[in-house]
Amino acid sequence: MGDFYQNGLVTTLHNFKSRPIEHLEKKLKEYEKIRPMALVIPSLYSELSRPALSKIVDVLEKVEYLTEVIIGLDRANEKEFNHAREYFSRLPQHHRILWNDGPRLQGLDKKLKDEKIAPKELGKGRNAWFCFGYVISSGKAEAIAMHDADIITYDRTLLARLFYPVANPNFNYRFCKGYYFRTDGEALKGRVVRLLVSPLLRTLKKFCGPTEFLEYLDSFRYPLAGEFSMRADVVKTIRIPSDWGLEIGFLSEAHRNNSTNRICQVEIADRYDHKHQPLSEDNPNAGLSRMAFDIARAIFIKLAQNGIIFSPGMFRSIRSTYYRIALDFVEQYHADAVMNGLKVNRHQEEQTVDLFSHIIYKAGMEFLEFPDHASFIPSWKRVTSAIPDYMEQLYEAVEKDNA
């Protein structure tokens, strides 16, 4: 992509296609001696039957700079966990599987519940949180990256470019977000970013003014990317949502705990495709409907924490303003797609905007009714304060499961 433009509050690291991947990996192999690297992959057991995860493991087999690979396994019984151990056994790196439904980790979860600090919801956020806890307890890594288990277009370049900004000891970045162009090769994808997040942020700027937080979020080219990397000490203090607000929550916490010159975004792929969620117009608790609700609520919660006062009338106005701005985005992306020979259905795009406008208002009104209802998971510092030896117990439980 012929682009070197820097905009917004965070540094953008582009891919000028001027550096071979072999050279990048060679440098990462050198950096591993100073800053060992761990990869976290939250996964449902069902992903093991899909080709995307198999390809990811094939690629990881050839990655020499990784110190550790951690797989968080959800929705697996004992037989399925043992199958997962066999499935990942070809990884040459030190690797561990967190059997989240197993008796040992369920027992540790109960201890957190007794202290009223357990994750409240099942899902990717909870899975990732336990994985990060294990990485901290193992003490093997200084740089941590996370990506999803369903990336269809996965390759070595994606992983190397994701790690490089936080692994390079000559850089001062502590948190890095991946970005890319979303397509399956035929159609323009990324509806939630294009038609919800971007127009909602532009809308909120009109009501809240140019707050640093909104400018910061709007600086990211793909704020909902599930691929990011960070220094290990960042994980200890971060509080993340356990719902679909995970990515926005991570960005918010990175901003709260670090100055913006320590945060960057990096282009990790020419194009990116993964398993697509249905819109779920008739089921607000599933698919993109649930995702959009959680994301909007996470943004409202963060703005309230920054002193913004919301009201029912304000949310009605936000809904109307969002709708007009989102329709402008539909027009812009339609022209962009057509010029580049990609499919985009104007009717479906506008239907999606209709749905999102309703969800934004619903999320806002629910926030007003339940302002304290935020599904943030406590930081690992708080956990160790409540249960001083919890990290040791977590490490021992995972090691016994994998023995």
Domain ranges of the chain: 11-402
Q: By three-state DSSP, how is residue 177 classified?
A: strand
DSSP states of 79-124 = HHHHHHHHHTTT--SEEEEEETTSHHHHHHHHHHHHTT-S-SS-SH
Q: What is 11-402's CATH number, 3.30.420.130, 3.40.50.12780, 3.90.550.10, 1.10.760.10?
A: 3.90.550.10
Whether the CB-CB separation of 43 and 101 falls below 8 Å is answered with no
The fraction of the chain above a pLDDT of 90, given in percent, is: 79
Cα–Cα distance between 315 and 368 in angstroms, integer? Answer: 10
The strand pairing partners of 96, in sequence order, are 70
305's CB contacts (< 8 A; 6+ apart) are none
Whether the CB-CB separation of 285 and 351 falls below 8 Å is answered with no
Q: Which amino acid is at 93?
A: Q
Tell me the pairing of strands 376-377 and 240-241: antiparallel
| The predicted structure's pLDDT at residue 375 | 66
Residue 301 sits at the vertex; the CA angle it makes with 296 and 307, to the nearest 5 degrees, is 130
Orientation of helix 346-369 relative to helix 312-339, angle to 10°: 160
pLDDT in tens, 283-304: 666 678 888 998 999 899 889 9
| The predicted structure's pLDDT at residue 284 | 64
- C-alpha dist (Å) from residue 114 to 53, 110, 386: 36, 6, 11
pLDDT in tens, 351-372: 999 999 999 999 999 999 987 6
The backbone torsions φ and ψ at residue 282, rounded to the nearest 5 degrees and listed phi first, read -95, 0
pTM value?
0.93
Q: By three-state DSSP, how is residue 345 classified?
A: coil
155-170 burial, b if ≥16 CB within 10 A, otherwise e? eebbbbbbbbbbbbee
| The predicted structure's pLDDT at residue 88 | 98
26's CB contacts (< 8 A; 6+ apart) are none
pLDDT in tens, 198-229: 999 999 999 998 789 999 999 999 999 999 99
Q: How many Cβ atoms are within 10 Å of 362's Cβ, its own excluded? A: 18
pLDDT classification of 121: cutoffs 50, 70, 90: confident
